[in-house]
Amino acid sequence: MSKLLDLLNPYRWLILLALLAGLWGAHAWRVGAAEKRGYAAGDKAGAHRVQVQYDTFKGELITRSTTLLAEAYRVGGVMQGSFNQRTKELDDEITTVTRERDAALERLRNRPQRPAGGPPRDRNLPGDPTDQTAAPGCTGAQLYREDGHFLVGEAARGEVIRKGLLKCYADLDDARAQQAGFVAGHAAPPGAVASAPPP
């Protein structure tokens, strides 16, 4: 009976429960520590994998950006060269127009001046500059000096504007062609940006 009483002793049960609780706590601590080590290793591996993906993406982005910038500078240089060439051609054409205008003005120097309100010297020329009737057979050979100077100057100015406009159109067409070629040659593949990992 004494053994039975020993088994019913609450102190022994408390010691047994404390021992079991200690064993359970040690087991839980070891399992928790192992899980933490596993999570930490998994986190490190996952972080490393994500970092590798990000570094790869960043490297590709830098390479692509560098390539695009180099190509943009090349295209810009080509466009600037074309622009400079057309500007030089325009300057040469303006010089030619100016020379022709000056020669025409020199030829007009011997023309008679417009009479001040008197009857015209030639029946085919109006005496009043506001007269809108067309003289029969008027070719410009009968123009007075002032009228000829004005018309030659306006014709030269119009020619310079026309040539400048043609140069602008050529510059615009060249820029559009270069842009279209640049965009077509460097278009990103579909979904390239969408598949990139977030930073």
Structural domains in the chain (count): 1
Looking at the domain assignment, is residue 125 inside a domain? no
3-class secondary structure, 194: coil
Most confident listed range (5-14, 59-68, 125-134): 59-68
Q: What is d(CA 156, CA 178) in angstroms, rounded to the nearest whole number?
A: 33
Q: Provide the domain limits for residue 158.
A: 15-114+140-184
Looking at the domain assignment, is residue 46 inside a domain? yes
Looking at the domain assignment, is residue 180 inside a domain? yes
pLDDT digits (tens, 9 = 90+) for 11-37: 777 787 888 888 888 878 787 777 777
Query: First-to-last CA distance in the chain?
Result: 76
Q: Report whether pLDDT(189) > 80.
A: no
pLDDT digits (tens, 9 = 90+) for 167-179: 999 999 988 888 8
Looking at the domain assignment, is residue 127 inside a domain? no
Looking at the domain assignment, is residue 199 inside a domain? no
In the prediction, which pLDDT does 129 show? 61
Looking at the domain assignment, is residue 25 inside a domain? yes
Element (H, E) at 137: none
In the prediction, which pLDDT does 153 show? 92
Percentage of residues in the chain having pLDDT higher than 90: 20
| pTM listed for this prediction | 0.54
Looking at the domain assignment, is residue 189 inside a domain? no
Looking at the domain assignment, is residue 9 inside a domain? no
Report whether 68 contacts 186 (CB < 8 A).
yes
Q: Report whether pLDDT(120) > 70.
A: no
3-class secondary structure, 25: helix
For the chain, give the number of residues: 199
Q: What does residue 124 show for φ and ψ, rounded to 5 degrees?
A: -85, -5
